[in-house]
Amino acid sequence: MMFLKIFLILISLNLLSACNFLPLLHSHSPQYIKILIKEKHYNQAQDILQKISPGHPDYRILMAQKKRLQNLINKLEKKTLIQLQRLQQQNKWQQAWKTLQGARASIPENRALLKAEKDFIVARKKRINELNMKINIHKGIWLKDAEPLLDAMLKTRPDNYNRRQQQQKFKQEKKQTLKNLAHCAKQAMNEDLYELGRRCLSLVNKIDHQHRYTQSLQQAIIKLQHHDHAWHQRQIRISDELVKELKQGYSHDNLLRASRHLRELSSHNQSTERKQHRNILKKELDRGIAQRMDAGRKLYSEGKITEALTIWTSLQQITTNNEVLEAHINRAQRVLKKLKELGKQQSPTGKISPSVQ
């Protein structure tokens, strides 16, 4: 009986507390808006605040909350878009999706995030397609390399039943992979993934001995040829522009851009015309490197070791595997190390005594 009385008293107290707290949770009260913001129900809070009239007793407080809420929404939007881009670049697609959905739970009607979600889905689909293409390419490479090995095994033991079964299974896999590679070539061209498309076309050409897909892939081949022609013409123009800039001055920036451009060209097949433009650029680049090397040697001979080393180390970005350059850098570093060990100080001009050199 005593337990029942205590139980009823507790219930009564809880009801009284709830009754006292209810006014605080009125949907148009600053306290309620504060709770919504704290729980990150930004969209719900925003909907309520947009309906507040100037005659509301807490109008000024609520408008201050509205301003603060908008700042929070803007920060969340900006932060989410930055994180989304970074995670996509790192190929952390699932984490990116969770980040986006977490923000959208707070502001589901945000236009920027709605657009980001649509763009994300498109980008993710494209990424999956790319990976599927690469899987088919690796299958194609394996098939191309494995086929002669399997034929050799059958010729060694033509009566081996298991090997014949393996050959039949291999033929079926080859047929399906060829179909996938042909689809890969078409899809890659449609999505402007030219290098992937090139690899797929090359494998189809090597595996499809019966030329089943030659006709159906003509459009993809033509598109790739047009792309390659346009790309090479653009590279010729860039090469000519770089030659002109180098003739005006061998600045570090000009030399670095020319070096990177030559490396890009070396990764593609070159026609006779394109090789001529490339060779002209390379000669001009070599002249620039030689001039910078001489400038460093002159400074070194004047005792300006630090300045010479700065020039030579900057050339490492431009010319790779240059033994003469590496020898200059190593010698300058040894001299500076010796100076430090001897406790000698360079003058403001950076000169040192000839005995140290």
Res. 344 pLDDT band, cuts 50 70 90: low
Alpha helices in the chain (DSSP H): 2-21, 30-38, 42-50, 59-89, 93-106, 111-156, 161-190, 194-207, 218-248, 252-266, 272-301, 305-315, 323-342
pLDDT recorded at residue 26: 63
The Cα–Cα gap between 281 and 230 comes to 20
The answer, as to whether pTM is greater than 0.95, is no
Instruction: Report in angstroms the alpha-carbon separations of 123 from 85, 116, 118, 120.
Output: 11, 10, 9, 5
Tell me the pLDDT tens digit for each residue of 99-108.
Answer: 999 999 999 9
Model confidence at 162, pLDDT cuts 50, 70, 90, reads confident
User: SS3 for 14-67, per residue?
Assistant: HHHHHHHHHHHHCCCCHHHHHHHHHCCCHHHHHHHHHCCCCCCCCHHHHHHHHH
Judge contact between 56 and 62, C-beta under 8 A: yes
- For the cut 70, the answer to whether the pLDDT of residue 202 exceeds it is yes
- Compute CA distances 2 → 12, 207, 295, whole Å: 16, 90, 101
Rounded-to-integer distance, Cα 179 and Cα 98, Å: 36
- For the chain, how many residues are written? 357
What is residue 167's predicted lDDT score, i.e. its pLDDT?
85
Among candidate residues 241, 266, 348, the one with its CA nearest the CA of residue 304: 348
Summarised one tens digit per residue, pLDDT across range 139-151 is: 999 988 988 888 8
DSSP per residue, 294-336: HHHHHHHHTT-HHHHHHHHHHHTTTSSS-HHHHHHHHHHHHHH
User: Is the pLDDT confidence value at 88 over 90?
Assistant: yes
Q: Can you list the pairs that 331-334 forms with residues at least 24 positions away whose Cβ atoms lie under 8 Å?
A: 332/300, 332/305, 332/308, 333/309
Phi and psi at 177, nearest 5°, equal -65, -40
pLDDT at 275: 83
As a whole number of angstroms, the distance between CA 58 and CA 297 comes to 78
Which amino acid belongs to residue 293?
M
CA dist 132 and 238 (Å) reads 34
Q: How far is CA 47 from CA 57, 69, 188, 212, 343, in A?
A: 18, 11, 45, 62, 72
CA-CA distance, 134 to 119, in Å (whole number)? Answer: 23
